Amino acid sequence: MPRNGNGNGSEETPLLKADGVTVLYGERIGCRDVSFALWPGEVVGIVGESGSGKTTLLNCLSGRLEPAGGEIWYGASQTGPVNIYRIPEPVRRLLMRTDWGIVYQNSLEGLRMRVSAGGNVGERLMGAGMRHYGKIRQEALKWLMRVEIEPDRINDLPLTFSGGMLQRLQIARTLVTKPRLVFMDEPTSGLDVSVQARLLDLLRRLVQELNLSVVVVTHDLAVVRLISHRLMVMRQGEVVEEGLTDRVLDDPQNPYTQLLVSSVIQS
């Protein structure tokens, strides 16, 4: 399991750490007392049926939903770990434009549909401080090609793209600033099986090449088996089982996990 970004085996501060995270929706529990650490270069998958709390937890980890209880720490390299809900809002927004990235299930949340493909990628570069138009366009073109979008589509609107292309464009927009931490929410949902396979192959390759730290939420166990090092299984807002992905999927201990793996529970 990766424990740092340089592969030398030394211990260091986790890149992201959740400690007792709890979210309440009135009397209903979104998630309760969730704790875990994400290490540099590690991919953690979170699975569970609809309503299990996995998306609520992802929203907390990514700074979009402040928990009612618990803390979330980000291991900023220069300043040391910071509580993401105790830093100034402008600083958190800057982190979202640079160090963090999100790949949404619905591409409408992650892309501007009436801005060109190149413009979508370029906007994130501008948000990170790049101002030279030529360099922005050149970097955008490089990333479109990297995610297998033809370079002559750089001026096309996302409205003209297929579902798989939209997700690849989201990935290019997200990764162009070389973030340290990426959140993925059902990245292959709604895609045809062949398109899913191609997208997963792309994601796995980029995660390895860029040494990304990733939290991926999905109901698809094939996704986490392919790209995650470690797995957390959630039910009714709580983590009921966690461990190395292959161990959890091949030898589940919790009855709920056993049902998930045997596909008795339909998400």
For the chain, 267 residues long, give each residue's pLDDT as a single digit of tens: 454 443 333 457 899 999 999 999 998 999 999 999 999 999 999 999 989 999 999 999 999 999 999 999 998 656 678 999 999 988 888 888 889 999 999 998 999 999 999 999 999 999 989 999 999 999 999 999 999 999 999 999 999 999 999 999 999 999 999 999 999 999 988 888 888 889 999 999 999 999 999 999 998 898 999 999 999 999 999 999 999 999 999 999 999 999 999 874 444
Q: Give residue 92's pLDDT.
A: 86
Q: Give residue 216's pLDDT.
A: 97
Could you give the C-alpha distances from 213 to 70, 87, 107, 206, in angstroms and in order?
22, 21, 21, 11
Shortest CA distance to 11 belongs to which of 20, 19, 22, 3?
Answer: 3
Q: Could you tell me how many helices (H) and strands (E) the chain has, helices first?
A: 10, 10
The structure tokens 């618990």 sit at: 70
Q: For residue 73, which amino acid is it?
A: W
User: Rounded to whole angstroms, how far apart are CA atoms 45 and 216?
Assistant: 5
Pick left, alpha or beta for residue 64 (phi over 0 → left; psi -120 to 50 → alpha; otherwise beta).
Answer: alpha
- List the end-to-end C-alpha distance of the chain, in Å, as a whole number: 28
Shortest CA distance to 225 belongs to which of 248, 206, 257?
Answer: 248
Q: Please, are residues 91 and 40 in contact by the beta-carbon 8 Å criterion? A: no
Q: Give residue 3's pLDDT.
A: 46
Residue 159: other Cβ atoms inside 10 A: 9
Cβ within 8 Å of residue 32, ≥6 positions away: 22, 53, 237, 238
Q: Give residue 2's pLDDT.
A: 53
Q: For residue 6, which amino acid is it?
A: N
CA geometry: angle 104, 110, 116, nearest 5 deg: 140
Which SS3 state, helix, strand or coil, does residue 135 take?
helix
Q: DSSP of 141-180, one letter per residue?
A: HHHHHHTT--GGGTTS-GGGS-HHHHHHHHHHHHHTT--S
Residue 261: other Cβ atoms inside 10 A: 17
